[in-house]
Amino acid sequence: MKPVKNRSRQEIDNRYKWNIEAMYPEESRWEQDFEEVSGLISLYPSFSGTLSQSGEALLAAYQKKDEIWLILERMYVYSRMKKDEDNRLEQYQNMNDRCSSLVARAASALSFFTPELLEIRPEQIHEFYEQCPGLETYRFAIESAFREKAHILTPAEENIMAQYSEITGATNNVFSMLNNADMRFDEITDENGEKVELTHGRFIGFMESKDQRVRKEAFEAMYAPYKAQINTLAALYNYNTKTDVVQARLRNYPSSLDAALSGDNINPEVYFNLVDTVNRNLDSLMRYVQIRKKLLGLDELHMYDVYVPLFDVPRKSVSYEEGVQLMKKGLEALGPDYLEKMEQGVKQGWVDVYENEGKTSGAYSFGSYDSMPYILMNYSDKLKDVFTLAHEMGHSMHSLYTRESQPFIYGGHSIFTAEVASTVNEALMMKQMIADEKDALTKKYLLNLYIEEFRSTVFRQTMFAEFELLTHLAVERGEALTSDFLCREYLALVRKYFGPDVVLDDEIKYEWARIPHFYNAFYVYKYATGFSAAAAISRKILEEGQTARDAYIDFLRSGESNYPIELLKIAGVDMSRPEPIDEAMKIFSGLIDELEALI
């Protein structure tokens, strides 16, 4: 039989591609921006020594800094997204690399700013606010800088750190190229007896196959190249983690965890509370594993059996167009303004829908302050893809509301808050679909899907968070992250989380090696906290109606105008306390109870 191959990008209809050309209708404009921002970077050091002269001088320096980063952000987003369309294209590899170098140059040229700002007496800063009303826009940014004063180095040291930023990000870039461009997987035989090329985008689909042979074959094929490259991958992650630890020490943080959480003003206790609370509720996960083993009728439950739906998929195929309509219906609780903006975004070309050769795997929302909020998908006509679309649309709508309301300096989002916006969408869709469903089989399928969202987002991401913590602590103790150490420790965590009812095949110990988020330190815990916050917010929206919805939209508009914990209080959730995690665990246990009652 002829193998099923991944499509080239040229074979995909343009209506399923994002309208990235809106950013640069002519790529020559990207080169013009490159020259313009190069000039601005060269001139920016002339602001050095002027910041304390007056409020107007400080405001001018802030505004010029924003102008530089606004252009650089646009350039980087475009070059990165063009590369993500097909990672094999040298033109966009080169463009993205040049942009990264320019970002490093800008960071170096602007590196004097924060140390010089922090030399100004606080009383003088307050006088500047009175003298120059325009500076009020930057009050929160200024206060945040002074909060971090103990971790800001001298101007000369900051310049060195900035110049090295391009190098310190190398491990992430090398992993991305290895994982997305160079890694090749064997073909497997699907349920129909056809040879199919395994890809990142198709892997989960194979893991959901009803045929255990297909699941096992895909599982083994996925991990074979990681096993073959395990020493290289261990070296990459080792040096990535060492970079985190060294940079934390250079900036006088107690640990790499403190350094990673400091920018968001998050107390490390939030991290520890998450891990501790989830660990105290692992019996619920193990109870679900036992149900899974029973319903699948397996003598042995393997790790390649944990993704297959327990019930037949009610709809074998959901086209992208159908998926968009399901998403709109599921998000009606967010109101007409939200739905109208979302529908316009789909029509205007926010979404790059289907997988193609060389395309970056997974899904994300991205964009610059002055562009559309773009969405990368690898849509495969599954119902789960609709939830992924809603998730990324939550990010994009968050960006849209923020950029309509906030100046550039507050126009982004902490991941801590961003993951709430995405997961509220998923939670609302799921609750609406379960409530409306009359068919018993479909209801069980949706309940199982929601349970899986909890498992993969709260339990799995917390397991990842534990792994990151133990690897960083090991490096801080002076230990090396060898492949043996990483595989052994990861396997121990999988055993702890899934319990004795799962057979741990040898391949699972290599799973850490394919997780791209590990190259962004202490990132994944925010998925779990975000999911927990979203569970509380979505419940409030459905129970309280417009009042809760308006408060939530106000949260979406807030951007980075305050610290994440304070921003979430706008939507009625206090993540500095353990209650939202406890509530999420109770919801998970309740869903299992509900599922057991139906089977």
Catalytic residues: 392
Residues ≥6 apart with Cβ < 8 Å to 501: 286, 289, 290, 293, 301
Number of alpha carbons in the 13 Å side-chain half-sphere of residue 553 = 15
Tokens of 310: 């327990």
Give the 3-state DSSP-derived string for 202-257, with helices as H, strands as E and coil as C: HHHHHHCCCCHHHHHHHHHHHHHHHHHCHHHHHHHHHHHHHHHHHHHHHCCCCCHH
Q: What angle do CA 70, 72, 77 make, to 5 degrees?
A: 100
C-alpha span between 310 and 323 (Å, rounded)? 22
C-alpha span between 400 and 374 (Å, rounded)? 10
Q: Are 559 and 369 in contact (CB under 8 A)?
A: no
Tokens of 280: 């105290």
- The torsion angles phi and psi of 118, rounded to 5 degrees, stand at -75, -10
DSSP 8-class letter at 267: -
- The torsion angles phi and psi of 373, rounded to 5 degrees, stand at -85, 100
What are the E-state strand segments in 346-485?
Answer: 351-352, 364-366, 374-376
Q: What angle do CA 212, 217, 220 make, to 5 degrees?
A: 125
196 SS3 class: strand
Q: Using the structure block, give the residue that is written with the tokens 């009625």.
A: 572
The full DSSP string for 151-182 is G---HHHHHHHHHHHHHHTHHHHHHHHIIIII
Q: What is the side-by-side strand order in the sheet with 351-352?
A: 351-352, 374-376, 364-366
Does an H or E element contain 188, and which?
A: strand 187-189
Q: Are 37 and 71 in contact (CB under 8 A)?
A: yes
What are the E-state strand segments in 191-275?
Answer: 195-197
122 SS3 class: helix
Q: Are 69 and 37 in contact (CB under 8 A)?
A: no
Residues ≥6 apart with Cβ < 8 Å to 333: 428, 432, 541, 542, 549
End-to-end Cα, the chain, rounded Å: 40
395 SS3 class: helix
Residues ≥6 apart with Cβ < 8 Å to 368: 23, 70, 73, 74, 76, 77, 78
Q: Are 57 and 51 in contact (CB under 8 A)?
A: yes
DSSP 8-class letter at 360: P
